[in-house]
Amino acid sequence: MMNSKMYINGKWVESENDHSIEVINPANKEKIAKVPRATRKDTQRAIDAAREAFEEGVWSELSAHERAEFLMKIADKLTEKKDELAALEAMNNGKTKMEADFDVSDSIDCFRYYAGLITAPDGQTVPSHEPMQSIVVQEPMGVVGLIVPWNFPLLMGVWKIAPALAAGNTIVFKPAELTPMTAIELFKIIDEIGLPKGVANLVLGKGSESGQMLAESQDIDMVSFTGSTEIGRQVMKAASSNIKKVSLELGGKSPNIIFDDADFETAVDYALFGIFYGAGQVCTAGSRILVQEGIYNQFIDRLIERAKHIRVGPGMDKNVEMGAITSSKQLDSILDYVEIGKKEGATLALGGKRLTEDGLEKGFFMEPTIFTDVHSDMRIVQEEIFGPVITVQKFKNEAEAVKLANDTDYGLAGAVFSQDGAKAMRVIKKVRAGITWINTYHSNHAGAPWGGYKQSGIGRGLGTQGLHEFQEVKQINVNLAVEPVGWFSN
Ligand code: NAD
């Protein structure tokens, strides 16, 4: 079992009271590591270190090129350790090694993208009254608290750490208590490449303790949170203490709209990929399939036929296509939703049970699950289940597809499948969501802004917007004729 520490002010430290959290492998419940559980005092130490580093200017006053060089070094070291990191991610989160390989590659791309972006010209000059000249510059926010969930432990962290550091902020990063392992490895790299002390700090601990503290602290200028809508609401409230900037990447219940004229096999394939990738523990999961009436029955038959054959098991097994649920608590919550769906009168067309055969009883595994005969006011259609569970609904025409698609409090993602390009475009433009696809699902790139409408969040990660999110904007007005204003007569 590994013994890991937190990284505060350039040093690896235990928690002040030696309390710890045990980290397990959800595929077999084996203990992977014991990590410190930060107290409020530990978290304050990290915040103080970040504040001091920011005020000293050891990072914010470096040139963009110098900061970019550090980010490129992190990307290079991640590349060297790519395979090892992906294996660790699969072991800690339960996802398949192939899924974890993509996460590490995307993390490397993200550091490289922001290293490039920060050195590109930015800012504006604004037409002003002569002899004034007005220019607009971007500056770092200051000290930023970063909080992420357990479903993409490294990638969700990097999506915040890379732009926050690129912009010149100092950071306190808190991964989810269930999945700290790849974050610890990333901070080993940060230590190795010699980032000035206090610039990047890692606190390991409970959301209700250190997470809450990052949100409410008076010494932090911004909190960037990825997680559930419920906790996002609490973070927003806590952040009001000093009117700190808040950016929120929250939950989803995303529609996947399949028209009669879609390429049938492609649509079925992406419907499966949309929900069962990551065992459905993906914020953008296509958890609501909407199918046009002409192909509805045929589509369900094919979906069931294919979903039945998905190979579920430990993520490190090369033959496995869908890994474990990350915790027993999450598995129980998914199983509760299956019961709720049955009670609401939906038809359980496939799955619905925990898998316990052939060695799977040691971990948290769940059958791919499909509900049909559902309607919009059912909880299983409205609430984020965050597991391998889909509902399938029927629609008649474009207008009804759009109405059903938008009929939840969420607005994170959505997709349309149709071979009529104009129709697909018409419909996707009416879907109230920030991340959308036509004839594909889940594709993304560090350069495209990521985030949700409605209760799926505030602000955007990734892309140029993702950098601006971590920047203040300042106007500088310069007088080109230095003489008195002459407003007062004496
Ligand atoms: P969660 O909200 O329970 O926890 C997220 C993080 O917040 C964890 O680090 C946790 O320790 C911390 N936290 C808990 N209570 C806190 C508090 N009071 N104050 C501050 N921090 C606190 O979410 P989860 O179960 O870890 O992750 C699943 C959720 O994340 C899903 O809703 C999913 O849709 C969402 N998610 C969204 C995106 C996106 O980009 N929109 C990406 C990934 C996951």
- Residue 347 · residue 373 · CB < 8 Å: yes
Distance CA 88, CA 371 (A): 34
Residue 387 Cβ inside 6 Å of ligand 1? The answer reads no
Distance CA 199, CA 262 (A): 50
Please check the confidence at residue 2 and state whether its pLDDT lies above 80. no
- The contacts of residue 385 (CB under 8 Å, 6+ apart) are 280, 287, 333, 334, 337
Q: How far is the CA of 10 from the centre of ligand 1 (A)?
A: 27
- pLDDT tens digits, residue range 85-102? 999 999 999 999 999 999
Residue 412 Cβ inside 6 Å of ligand 1? The answer reads yes
Distance CA 312, CA 480 (A): 69
Please check the confidence at residue 103 and state whether its pLDDT lies above 70. yes
Residue 179 Cβ inside 6 Å of ligand 1? The answer reads no
Mean pLDDT of 243-254: 98
Q: How far is CA 125 from CA 134, 136, 167, 434, in A?
A: 6, 6, 20, 30
Q: How far is the CA of 40 from the centre of ligand 1 (A)?
A: 19
Q: Would you list the domain boundaries of the chain?
A: 2-250+456-476, 255-438
Q: What is the third-level CATH fold of 2-250+456-476? A: Aldehyde Dehydrogenase; Chain A, domain 1 (3.40.605)
Buried residues in 152-172 as b, exposed as e (16+ CB within 10 A): bbbbbbbbbbbbbbbbbbbbb
Domain 255-438 in CATH: superfamily?
Aldehyde Dehydrogenase; Chain A, domain 2 (3.40.309.10)
- pLDDT tens digits, residue range 348-406? 999 999 999 988 999 999 999 999 999 999 999 999 999 999 999 999 999 999 999 99
Please report the pLDDT score of residue 473 as a whole number.
96
Please report the pLDDT score of residue 451 as a whole number.
98
Please check the confidence at residue 29 and state whether its pLDDT lies above 80. yes
Please check the confidence at residue 144 and state whether its pLDDT lies above 90. yes
Please check the confidence at residue 45 and state whether its pLDDT lies above 90. yes
- pLDDT tens digits, residue range 253-304? 999 999 999 999 999 999 999 999 999 999 999 999 999 999 999 999 999 9
- Residue 184 · residue 88 · CB < 8 Å: no
> According to the 3-state scheme, what is the secondary structure of the chain?
CEECCEEECCEEECCCCCCEEEEECCCCCCEEEEEECCCHHHHHHHHHHHHHHHHHCCCCCCCHHHHHHHHHHHHHHHHHCHHHHHHHHHHHHCCCHHHHHHHHHHHHHHHHHHHHHHCCCCCEEECCCCCEEEEEEEEECCEEEEECCCCCHHHHHHHHHHHHHHCCCEEEEECCCCCCHHHHHHHHHHHHCCCCCCCEEECCCCHHHHHHHHHHCCCCCEEEEECCHHHHHHHHHHHHHHCCEEEEECCCCCEEEECCCCCHHHHHHHHHHHHHHHHHCCCCCCCEEEEEHHHHHHHHHHHHHHHHCCCECCCCCCCCCECCCCCHHHHHHHHHHHHHHHHCCCEEEECCCECCCCCHHHCCCECCEEEECCCCCCHHHHCCCCCCEEEEEEECCHHHHHHHHCCCCEECEEEEECCCHHHHHHHHHHCCCCEEEECCCCCCCCCCCECCEECCEECCECHHHHHHCCEEEEEEEEECCCCCCCCCCC
Distance CA 214, CA 207 (A): 9
Distance CA 49, CA 13 (A): 13
Please check the confidence at residue 81 and state whether its pLDDT lies above 70. yes
- pLDDT tens digits, residue range 445-469? 999 999 999 999 999 999 999 999 9
Please report the pLDDT score of residue 3 as a whole number.
66
Residue 150 Cβ inside 6 Å of ligand 1? The answer reads yes
Distance CA 80, CA 484 (A): 61
Question: Which position among 99, 177, 216, 283 bears the catalytic label?
Answer: 283
Question: Which position among 249, 367, 384, 469 bears the catalytic label?
Answer: 249
Task: State the chain's mean pLDDT as an integer.
Answer: 97
Ligand 1 pocket: which of 151, 173, 229, 436 to mutate (most atoms within 8 A of CB): 151
Please report the pLDDT score of residue 128 as a whole number.
87
Please check the confidence at residue 1 and state whether its pLDDT lies above 80. no
Buried residues in 232-245 as b, exposed as e (16+ CB within 10 A): bebbeebbeeeebb
Please report the pLDDT score of residue 123 as a whole number.
83
Rounded to a whole number of angstroms, the distance between the first and last alpha carbons of the chain is: 79
Q: Could you tell me the pTM of the whole model?
A: 0.97
Q: How far is the CA of 452 from the centre of ligand 1 (A)?
A: 15
Q: How far is the CA of 104 from the centre of ligand 1 (A)?
A: 20
- pLDDT tens digits, residue range 470-485? 999 999 999 999 999 9
Residue 99 Cβ inside 6 Å of ligand 1? The answer reads no
Please report the pLDDT score of residue 159 as a whole number.
98
The percent of residues in the chain predicted with pLDDT above 90, rounded, is 96
The percent of residues in the chain predicted with pLDDT above 70, rounded, is 99
